[in-house]
Structure 1
């Protein structure tokens, strides 16, 4: 800000110099010119009168004494005349044209202020957008990229800082840079040794990198982690999430409950209990509500604590493509879930309906949360994925149908068509 105003001041000074320097230079030149002309005129008059006196002396009209007296008088008159005329010239030249540059100065200053206020960034300087929120105007992707850059700079300055590498690994996961996340966690283990709390995040990064599939390599890391700490939260969270997506609800409940039983203070116990409740209801539900439909309706029809209605919802009209309608069975289930378009590809909300009820409009919001620490209300835009399952599993299998909506604003509506047969 200081540099900016210094530049503004320099520009104004240069502009004013362009007005005033020529003015003073012109005044000085006029003064010198006028003074020179008057001086030259007086000398010419003196020489002319002196010439007349000399002729009169030659013609014996004056004697030598009279000539000397008249010549001395003429010289004194010349000196007095030049002195008075010079003073008059200075007085006349000094105030010349002072009004015009003064008006130009006022106009330049006024126009500069007016156009800057109208066309410049006056409002931004008067009210800096980052005064209260340093990330104002930035997308989630830009914020995450900035966070990653800051952490990368930190580990470059302190390459032996294991905590910085650990934080950077989690930031890479949030930025969907799974290869770098795995490398970061390997670096931490190189510095401090192999621990369950490091193997769990590494397995999670590899899981997302593999398209949310448990490969033999990931399974081996999970087993290694649980052998070191059977109650490691990061590992059990991954185990429970994969079990839930494969409709193995009891396995998911067992994994999440093990975290609660560990009495760890560094976990979100409320989120875990919500996730367990969602798994229990999905396991017991015959109609497909994933989670409680009654709670969902209650929240939709009541206000928040401030008395405003909840707007952080996505309304989705789900239907089957006409050419595939004959392939829908009476016992097929449809899983619908929303994921953030930016950041980790973790479901923010999900529900389940009977395929026989389609077409059907469903609403996703925080009451259909999957129980994690991120919710639909925290996202600005989501993608919607629906899977018509013939095997009771969220993960698409051969013969299932699938449909997607690439992006929809939270608070908006969309239509999703199940139009693809999974091969």
Structure 2
């Protein structure tokens, strides 16, 4: 921020110069006017002396005329080059008052309407965080600077969950739902955070949120896993198996949580058999994969404004859903034009996959800071079905706002 304040101070000095320089010049002009008035007074005094000497008979009329001419020449020589008298209606106090008020008022307006916090945040986000606590601090400040950004609030909620702060996460998820709408993924994660915040107590609110999420999307993964846990804790082992099998069916093949989920299904099945029951083979919900082919180019108008090493994020996000990207690929400007393929395997989180959303938007963003949420240039597609098979063309051609 030091260079920012130095630049602001330099601009302030330039602005003050427009006020103070005329004032200094006015003082010089006033000194000149005072000197001219003194010379005129001396001239008039000399004329009075000459007339008195002529009246006393000391000077002849010719000598009087010669003395007058000499005094006039001296007056002319003393006042030659003097600027004409200027009349100021503002006076001296007003420019000085304005010179004081300009920086004070400018600083006050900037602190109230300016974005110094956002400038500082953009500088910090340009550097990778040294720890999870540092990332949390940055996200908290980003949410404070942009309280209407559902994306920042969502990522802060996820970070709180990673720090085992479910109560704080629940508060953030609730805000995200208020901004982004009652999307099933947000409702499921809100229910999960409330469940852990209440020491794994299944409250009516958790029940209502998870039910609403699964009603909107029967494949919502967080709610499926959460309901399976609740059923297992309540010794409803067949119900737990059913929920976890549904969840297993919609997870990507390479998802790291599959092995733990399969272990949970096995334990629930063993408990059911030990209690004298039999495991019913409930057919799982078939997984529907999504695969988007995207051809990304850079407009000719931007080629001179980017660097080859600038990062390019290519991602798909839900038209009606959480703000987080569903699938992401990362390249550089030097790779453009490039063909990429976005699939469920590119999901940032298991519960947010292309196949879970009927309609998505493709986005390509150039970010010199390497941040997927903000950059310099962007290209967006029109909403399209997530199961479209034709290759989509995407051009980066607009400022990122």
> Do they superpose with TM above 0.5?
no
Q: Give the TM-score normalised by structure 1.
A: 0.35
Q: Give the TM-score normalised by structure 2.
A: 0.36
Larger-Rg structure: 1
